[in-house]
Structure 1
Amino acid sequence: IEDFFQCFQISCQGATSITTFAIFLCDKIEPALHKAVFERTAKDIAEDMQGKFPDFRGNRANLEVSILRYLAEQENFEYFKQYLTSPKEFFQSYIERRVKSHCLDESRRLEKFLDSSLNLLYGNILSAVSLSTQIVKDKKDREDKISLWLDEFCRELAEVINLPRSELKGIEHQEVTDIEFLSSAMKTALGDLRDRLKKELADADLSSFSRQPHTILAEHFSGCWEKCRFCGAVCSNTMQNHDGDHQVVFHRPQALTGFKWHGTDHFIIDICSSLVASDCTFRFHDDQQWTPYKKYRDAGPPVSTWNILPDSSMQAYWKWFVSNFRTQLEALYNKKFQGKGEIPVAWQRITKQEALSELERR
């Protein structure tokens, strides 16, 4: 009987030691798992939105059409002003707005995304426990079983979570011989960890992400953000710091940046690509010399870094915009749509739907 109690005591000590080891290891896993859940979820949200929303399926030109449609539908001049003055920031805020709308609606999508990531990663960790146990349990002649187990465990998890093997040096000399029991203890401790994180994630919002889903999504639409000095249109090149000149498919009425005809307070409603085919001249400051639009590169940077080809075609969208927001533009720049800047009657007849239909056909 005495031998039985002695063996039972040793067995209990062994079980306690293994349970303590499993809890300690899960405490190490927790911050790494927490971080991995948010990283995976951010990517999943970005991919989900690319798959479900036409705005995000194509290139930046496609996204811009969606943004211009949104601006027209809102008919809020302040939004237009933000887009025209800070296009990159407006693109990012538009993407962020769409992400928030998608994730934080009544269907609680964010919580579902986080749950899905947690369950997937939890399954990966359980698989790592099983594989490590399988490999090490048969090595009966080895005294460093726990160290071997940790080696295998960290190796299996390398592509799942960031759990450096070096951080586990303090527990690798534990006298754990029952690897099968260790596997069982780990599964119990991991189950508790999953339940704890699940409760925590239920209260998470988008501010909980170190790298936001909208940031990942916005990176797909990066490129050159240089604006035409004349009309403010953004360079269409998809590469930052690209070789060669900046260029756009369509320039805009120069009134959008406040340009006026010399000696008047009358807006210029012409576009840069038609002016470079004219006999008109320009200067940006009163102390500058006048430069013919045909030789705009002679004015030096920033206009000399642009390739503006002669083209008289103007998008109906901007004709509609100028007509629709005439009063706000006049107030913003303290100038008038008069004289050479008189808005043509044909522009005033363009409906919003006509402007959008033409925009989406291009």
Structure 2
Amino acid sequence: MHQDFIQKKDPYRCLNENKGKFLADFKDVFHNVDQCQKKAEEFTDRCLKPAVEDFVNRSLGPDIIGEMRTSEQFSTRMSFQYSVLLDLLSEDTFEKYQSFISSYENYVKEWILNKILERFSNGSTVFEEQHLQSCVNSMNNAIQKAKTEKSGNIKSFVEVICQELVDKLVISQDALGAFMTLNKADQEQFAHWLTECVTEMAQTLREKFKKTDIQTKLQSLHVNPQDELFNTLIGCGEQCPFCKAPCEAGGTAHTEHFASLHRPQALGRYRWSNTNKLCIDICSSLVNSDISFLCIEREYQSHPYKGYKEMYPDWKIQADASLQASDYWKYVMAKFNDEFAAAYVAKPADIPEAWKEITPEQAEASLKESFLVI
């Protein structure tokens, strides 16, 4: 890092990088040429334009997040989880369910991304336009302020502008330093041309924003909307060590994970050791039993479910033998029993006949009940 700083500030390197510009400036001074228009263009292109683009990119991430949160799907944590599961049910493919269970965070972030792309696929640049116009107004106000200061030279004039913009725009000091050399520009004329250049710059950026698709824009943002929405609506992203149900504690600051609705443990690859058949019992009933599980952390040694906290101290699983899996997961397990068995190198579970009779409509009704959707 220290070497990078030295390299970045090396006078010899800066001189070599800008020697063409320095030579042009020197010729202008030598030939007594006024530099107003040239300097205004240079200041706009090298200093203001990159700063404006950076400001838009810093602002657009929160804008996208805010816009997504206005939709019902992203309004609350429960609405979000309900929407993801409902979408899975509507597609109703084993591959989707397996991806959701085994690669939960990646799947959900990809789902969020697709919703963002869908929402902003119309090419709207309303947010960029708002921030661009805000920058233009600030720059024009700064120019007017600098004119009233009656600065002695362009260097002082530009310093006033930069000071006025410091709370909004991050102007490169390297670019600014290079600009400050050898200028012989009339202040009034410079202000005139700078105002013109700011207008032209705004139009150039406006056209650029319109031509750039949302996927490309997302790559330039300072804040990643996918990650922020995931952290807000999902939280820590941890899953139950047995059934892979996601933690519902919310946020990332909690010290204990929990899930109110556990799933058949087959979804977490658990099977009965004596038959190799997938296990459809749920965690809540198993931790209330005398049954043991083979613990990966202890090289598959047997460990009682009642003592699961010795292995997974960060998880709290409510012990209740009366609890059952929801009809949603019963439906999934019954429909894709053979597929899960093949994927997990196990034998299919013994599925109760009642599970096999659950329809997609009943599974959806169960989902609504679980997430209190009216």
User: Same fold judged by TM-score > 0.5?
Assistant: yes
Alignment match of 2:43 (pick from 5, 25, 37): 25
1:207 is aligned to 2:216: yes
Q: Does the CA contact (< 8 Å) of 2:295 and 2:303 recur in 1?
A: no
Name the CA distance, whole Å, in 1 between partners of 2:208 and 2:148: 39
Name the CA distance, whole Å, in 2 between partners of 1:239 and 1:132: 41
Name the CA distance, whole Å, in 1 between partners of 2:287 and 2:345: 26
Q: Which residue of 2 aligns with 1:360?
A: 368
Alignment match of 2:316 (pick from 300, 303, 307): 307
Give how far 1:357 is off: 2.1
Q: Which residue of 2 aligns with 1:120?
A: 130
Name the CA distance, whole Å, in 2 between partners of 1:247 and 1:216: 21
Q: Which residue of 2 aligns with 1:163?
A: 171
Q: Which residue of 2 aligns with 1:220?
A: 232
Distance change (3 Å), C-alpha of 1:37 and 1:175: same
Q: Does the CA contact (< 8 Å) of 1:43 and 1:216 recur in 2?
A: no
Name the CA distance, whole Å, in 1 between partners of 2:172 and 2:299: 63
Q: Does the CA contact (< 8 Å) of 1:317 and 1:355 recur in 2?
A: yes
1:94 is aligned to 2:103: no
Higher mean displacement: 146-155 or 266-275? 146-155
**Deviation digits for residues 67-117 of structure 1, max 9, x if unmatched?**
11000000121111111001111110000111112222xx333xx24xx41
Q: Which residue of 2 aligns with 1:55?
A: 73
1:81 is aligned to 2:98: yes
Q: Does the CA contact (< 8 Å) of 2:52 and 2:135 recur in 1?
A: no
Which letter does structure 2 place at the counterpart of 1:96?
Answer: L
Distance change (3 Å), C-alpha of 1:82 and 1:155: same
User: Secondary structure at the residue paired with 2:233?
Assistant: coil
Q: Which residue of 2 aligns with 1:187?
A: 195
Which letter does structure 2 place at the counterpart of 1:253?
Answer: P
Give how far 1:199 is off: 3.2
User: Secondary structure at the residue paired with 1:304?
Assistant: coil
Name the CA distance, whole Å, in 1 between partners of 2:191 and 2:282: 72
Name the CA distance, whole Å, in 2 between partners of 1:308 and 1:270: 14
Q: Does the CA contact (< 8 Å) of 2:264 and 2:282 recur in 1?
A: yes
Q: Which residue of 1 aligns with 2:142?
A: 132
In the alignment of these two chains, the number of paired residues is 330
Name the CA distance, whole Å, in 1 between partners of 2:175 and 2:238: 47
**Deviation digits for residues 239-269 of structure 1, max 9, x if unmatched?**
33632x3211111101112212221122211
Alignment match of 1:143 (pick from 152, 175, 184): 152
Give how far 1:288 is off: 4.6
User: Secondary structure at the residue paired with 2:313?
Assistant: helix
Name the CA distance, whole Å, in 2 between partners of 1:21 and 1:318: 67
Distance change (3 Å), C-alpha of 1:213 and 1:282: closer
Distance change (3 Å), C-alpha of 1:47 and 1:148: same
Map 1:258-269; keep pairs closer than 5 Å. Answer: 258-269=269-280
Name the CA distance, whole Å, in 2 between partners of 1:318 and 1:135: 66
Q: Does the CA contact (< 8 Å) of 1:151 and 1:165 recur in 2?
A: no
Q: Does the CA contact (< 8 Å) of 2:231 and 2:251 recur in 1?
A: no
Distance change (3 Å), C-alpha of 1:231 and 1:217: closer
Q: Which residue of 2 aligns with 1:39?
A: 58
Q: Does the CA contact (< 8 Å) of 1:65 and 1:359 recur in 2?
A: yes
TM-score under structure 1 normalisation? 0.81
Alignment match of 1:293 (pick from 305, 320, 324): 305
Which letter does structure 1 place at the counterpart of 2:108?
Answer: F
User: Secondary structure at the residue paired with 1:234?
Assistant: coil
Q: Does the CA contact (< 8 Å) of 2:234 and 2:248 recur in 1?
A: no
Q: Does the CA contact (< 8 Å) of 2:73 and 2:80 recur in 1?
A: yes
TM-score under structure 2 normalisation? 0.79
Q: Which residue of 1 aligns with 2:9?
A: none
**Deviation digits for residues 209-230 of structure 1, max 9, x if unmatched?**
3234434433433522222221
Name the CA distance, whole Å, in 1 between partners of 2:103 and 2:179: 54
Instruction: State the identity as a percent.
Output: 25
Give how far 1:323 is off: 1.2
Distance change (3 Å), C-alpha of 1:26 and 1:216: farther
User: Secondary structure at the residue paired with 1:282?
Assistant: strand
Name the CA distance, whole Å, in 1 between partners of 2:324 and 2:115: 32
